[in-house]
Structure 1
């Protein structure tokens, strides 16, 4: 029979699992290791205005996830106001409204912004084609045309033209034409107007320079220039091209940052603070919000109680892989196929030393009592039920004694799977009767060794992190186990049978 379909299935599982994990790391920036730290900015915007005793509406631009930054959470504080978050043409805005605003009014907006490494596509669409027929009064029309001609002659495309045009208005390079225009017009609207007159699409945008611990900061104006599908950001004061690493674009659609109806003397100021936190915690809220997409099938969308449960359940395939490796490749014998995995799960709850001592005590006492039950000639069901009750009694007694002697670690022995322990005692007792104590020690020791190795693998911080955050790993584990299940060679412990042959 051809094995090609089998290897195709294994390859498909492997490729899909790796692709899902890489996509989750690249697209959602889930870290590979649990110790990575990320910068998170706490930004607070305060809007103030004087109410006139009439209905008021406040419309404020909001930041979006962008190149270098991702908005994690946002909150508002606006007692007595209705609030709606609006989105149009890629621009996000918050709209507060109230029937009566009297006196000093204060509205607050707070956002947590994660500093990211991956580039993200800009959400604001490009502006409409520029209006080249711009009307100027004399003598500003002549000065504007001369500035445009001078910059045009020293440029080759839209971006170099914007850089040369803005450099004309730099403080150390201003000519007579530039100084004349600046006496009548503000620098940023003037530059946008000149760029549009030359046929270059451009608009004014607003950004926030992030500096930890600063208060009452204002937005700064920048110029976004477009050349087809490409775009570039320019500093209007210096003509430098490029976006600084600490610049958060607050409004990128060319609209007003703040509009207030029913009030006067409106102002907006910003305070900011930076802190470091684990990367996994920083992106957890974003994973929960995006979990409805197919490629981000995420445990983070579940309630916290279920998340804690799955964090343990997802470790079971790791323990199963350890069992398969030890049984198939090495040839270690265990009492029950996957009983060591369940014991390893108990060790995670009890810690390794406490778990080992508790396991040995319960099994040893259980075997003594089981040996007495064997003389009663009970039926199997009744005998196993008696062993279960005995195990519960043993665990209860050990727990009470541990508490009485002040050994709090002994209280965790209740995490042991009682039914599995009962069947283990039953199997070992039958094995003792049929094969002798040597086989019991071999299988019992193999079970403990396997459980300890499975515990060390399952309790590793990196493995716990990657199994919980990358579900594609489950497909990779499935592919590896299928490959191991196809192994038909000798086990390592069986090679000792051939030692006399090598000696001869």
Structure 2
């Protein structure tokens, strides 16, 4: 796969793989800029909001390690448990400082994940499980100040973005391309990011939502 190529990045990749760096790790790193662009495109052009770029991308990486079904299941357990604990603390008006409150929510999320693994034994990577659990703080932080409906909507949109990102991370054709052409891949994504940053038009979901108003003009 790495034959007959003289590009500096690919030569460095060949040397790294020869030194024992897993090819999957390099491929994943090369794919992350593509995933970030896809998430940004989905937000700025399509209109899928989600919780930023980091959360969907991290979820997608976790899904690669756990598989989509197990990953979604654990993700939903963590979201449900953390949301219930957050709403319970709010209901009883317990004024806890931020870090102790997050530690309590994380404790509850760990119990939820442990309970799930006890009920449905899964052979999942501890790395992926830790990613999912540690994302609890980020989900809780972005939910603060939002209604339950808004938080659930953003959570589902984040899950959609994570699944789309998972598709790109596991697409074998794309994996082979970025490994064979890292310079082209990185340069193309950089240009696309710049062009996307210049876009300021209506999002597709906004056009659909206001289609009657647009068509009447």
Normalising by the smaller structure, the TM-score range is 0.7 to 0.9
Q: How far apart are the structure 2 equivalents of 1:501 and 1:465? A: 43
Which of residues 390, 394, 414 in structure 1 aligns to 2:112? 394
Q: Which runs of 5+ in 2 are unaligned?
A: none
Q: What SS does the aligned partner of 2:48 have?
A: coil
- The answer to whether the aligner puts 1:479 opposite 2:191 as a matched pair is yes
C-alpha separation in 2, matches of 1:477 and 1:470: 12
Q: Determine the C-alpha separation between the residues in 2 that align with 1:337 and 1:295.
A: 26
Corresponding residue for residue 321 of structure 1 = 37
CA RMSD of aligned residues (A): 2.5
Judge conservation of contact 1:349–1:415 (CA < 8 Å) in 2: yes
TM-score, normalised to structure 2, is 0.83
2:87 equivalent to 1:371 = yes
Displacement of 1:470 in angstroms is 1.9
Contact 2:81 2:108 in 1 (8 A): no
Q: Which of the two has greater helix per residue?
A: 2
Contact 1:300 1:307 (8 Å CA) reproduced: no
1:422 matched to 2:137? The reply is: yes
Which of the residues 132, 145, 160 maps onto 1:449?
160
Q: Cα 1:425–1:413, aligned 2, differ >3 Å: closer, same or farther? A: farther
Preserved contact between residue 82 and residue 136 of structure 2 (Cα < 8 Å) = no
2:206: which partner in 1?
494
Question: How far apart are 1:503 and its partner, in Å?
Answer: 4.1
Count of residues in correspondence between the two structures: 209
Shift, 1:397, TM fit:
3.1
TM-fit CA distance, 1:396: 3.0
Q: Select which of 318, 332, 339 maps to 2:48.
A: 332
TM-score by length of 1: 0.38
Higher relative contact order (CA 8 A, sep 6+): 2
Larger-gyration structure (1/2):
1
Cα distance change of structure 1 residues 296 and 355 upon mapping to structure 2, 3 Å threshold:
closer
SS at the partner of 2:21?
A: helix
- Partner residue in 2 for 1:298: 12
